[in-house]
Every structure is written in structure tokens, then in C-alpha cells.
Amino acid sequence: MNNSRILVVLAGVVLFAAACGSSALNTALDKARFALNSCSITSTAACTDAVNQANAALAIDANNLEAAMMKSSAQATSGGFNLLTLLSDLASQSGTDSTRKFKLIHSVVGAAVSNIADLRSSIESLTAIAAPASTNESYEDYYFQLGFLQMLEAFARPTLVAQPTNTSAVTPTTVAAADKTYTQSDFLDADGNLILGGIADSSSNGWDLVKALRQNYCVLHNLRPAGTTGFTLGLLQDLVLCQLCIEVTDTAICAKPAANLTAADFQSGLVTTCNDFNFTTCENAGPTEE
């Protein structure tokens, strides 16, 4: 996997090689490339233009991979997700504690994100097209972009719903059933998509992201009620509370630090202290599965 190429694809700042000819499809792709090159979290009008031009291309070729990837990048950026910066920031955290990944990712994205729904749209723009064949030169780029966006949503959606800014009060009960559904599907899908995107094993650049997905999903999955799959909404709310309140002593943000939470503070009926989320057991968790 060429990580530098993936970085520019995710950031949406590269001008793809111009296609030959003067068809309506090529014209729309050219315009989308041009708009995407100006798209940023502070220049969202250009992002909207890129989405519109990508849609014009997709109206002609519904499975156009380049159009879908540009549309996805523009939508995520429009919502405040500076993908290049996020990837760089997360890479700089390589080797940091997976047991507080919800909190870490929330701290990275919380200041800039304006619309979490745009991240969901950016994922759906990629899943709406036919997946590329393994012989396609953009095969790994497609899967890495999709897996990275799903990983971001898995950690960012529930934490941003529970705490919209880094100084807001943490209210885990605002994480709703729909948020849990998206989060669970992201945990299940992002793992495999990042692998297809070129993160082959623990020696690969980006393995930290895969490990964090597996370990955090594992601690949720292990506490699920007998006979159920995935994890419950209450368990997700409880883990979000535990992670966002790690070492927080400001009572305007968290009524108690995570270490002081007791059974009465949790929603699932399955957690009595934050230590019930056993990350040690999940240290070497395998691929996420229901």
C-alpha cells in the first residue's frame, strides 16, 4: 500500500490525471477534481460543488469509482473532518493506549466537526457503488478510505453525541439506538476494510487503528447478554461514559471521574464499575464479528 497516495486521496487535495475525451462524464469528473482541490473545512462551498459535480458523473456512470471517492472525501471534509490532519494526528498516537481510544479520537475531532451526518453520508457514498475488483489500481485506496471513515465514525459518533464539544457536559443517554446501530456496523466492517486497504498485519503502518477497533469491540461484545450478538445500546453508553470521564475532575463535564463511577451511574445493568470493561482480556482480540 502506498500510504502517501492514500493520504492525498483521503485529503481530497490531489488532482487526478485528467481523462481523455470531452464526454459529459469526463467534464463532470474534471469539474469535481477542480472543486475538490479547493475543498476544506473552511471552504465548504467548494466541497458542495465537488459533491454536485461528482453526482453529475455518477448520474452518467453509477459505479464510477473516482467520482464516488471524490464525493465521499468532499462530504467528510464539509462536515469538519479534515481527513489528512486526522490521519496524521492518529498516526502520531501510534502505540498509545487503546483503552482510551474513544476519548482520544473525540479530543482530535471534537473541536472542528460541525455535522456528524456528513461523515455517515461519506461512508454511504462509497458503499453505494459496486466495490472495485482487486485488479483495479484504486482497490486498496477505496477500501482504506472506507475503513478509515468507518473507524472514525465508530469512535466519533457516540462520543460527539454524548459530548458535542470538548467542554460540554457528558450525557451518554443521548446516544440513541440509531447511533448504536451505525457504531456496531462500523466496528464490524472497518476491521476487514482496513485489512483490504493494505494493513496486512501488526507490522503494517496503521495497525494501531485495527487493534483499537478489535480491542474496544471485544470489551463491549464480551459483556453482552447471553444469547445476543454484537453489543447493547446500554453497554455503548456505559463505555462512552467511562472513556470520556477518564481523569476528568470538572463536575460541569462529568459528575464523577471514571474511576469513581458505580453501578447506579450506568445504563446497561451489566456494568458496575469501569473495570468491568476488561481490556486486558481483549489485548490480542481477533477480527470483529457478531
271 in Cβ contact with 243 (< 8 Å):
no
CA nearest 125: which of 79, 159, 84, 165? 79
pLDDT of residue 99: 74
pLDDT band at 10 (very low <50, low <70, confident <90, very high): low
Given pLDDT bands bounded at 50, 70 and 90, which one contains residue 93? low
Q: 101 to each of 42, 200, 224, 226, how far by Cα in Å?
A: 27, 21, 20, 26
Report yes or no: 141 and 69 within 8 Å, Cβ to Cβ. Answer: yes
**Alpha carbon distance 219, 288 (integer Å):** 11
User: In 3D, which of 215, 180, 208 has the Cα closest to residue 194?
Assistant: 208
Measure the CA angle with vertex 216, ends 276 and 134; round to 5°.
160
222, 111, 93: which is closest to 156 by C-alpha? 111
Helix orientation angle between 139-162 and 177-196, rounded to the nearest 10 degrees: 150
pLDDT band with cut points at 50, 70 and 90 for residue 3 = very low
Q: Do the Cβ atoms of 125 and 75 come closer than 8 Å?
A: yes
User: How far apart, in whole angstroms, are the C-alpha atoms of residue 153 and residue 35?
Assistant: 25
d(CA 230, CA 218): 9
Reply yes or no on whether the pLDDT at 213 is more than 70: yes
171 residue type, one letter: T
The better pLDDT of the pair 204, 271 is held by: 271
Question: Taking the CB of residue 160, how many other CB atoms lie within 10 A of it?
Answer: 21
Contact 217, 288 (CB under 8 A): yes
**What is the band of 102 on the pLDDT scale with cuts at 50, 70, 90?**
confident
How does pLDDT run across 43-86, given as a tens digit for each residue? 999 999 999 999 999 999 999 999 999 999 999 999 888 887 77
Q: What is the DSSP letter of 16?
A: P
Q: Is 106 in contact with 128 (CB distance < 8 Å)?
A: no
Contact 198, 148 (CB under 8 A): no
Q: Of the ranges 48-62, 74-88, 123-137, 244-258, which one carries the lowest mean pLDDT score?
A: 74-88
Going by the DSSP 8-state scheme, the letter that residue 42 receives in this structure is: T
Amino acid 16: pLDDT: 43
Residue 151's pLDDT is 93
Going from the C-alpha of 1 to that of each of 23, 112, 143, 149, 216, the distances in angstroms are 32, 29, 11, 17, 26
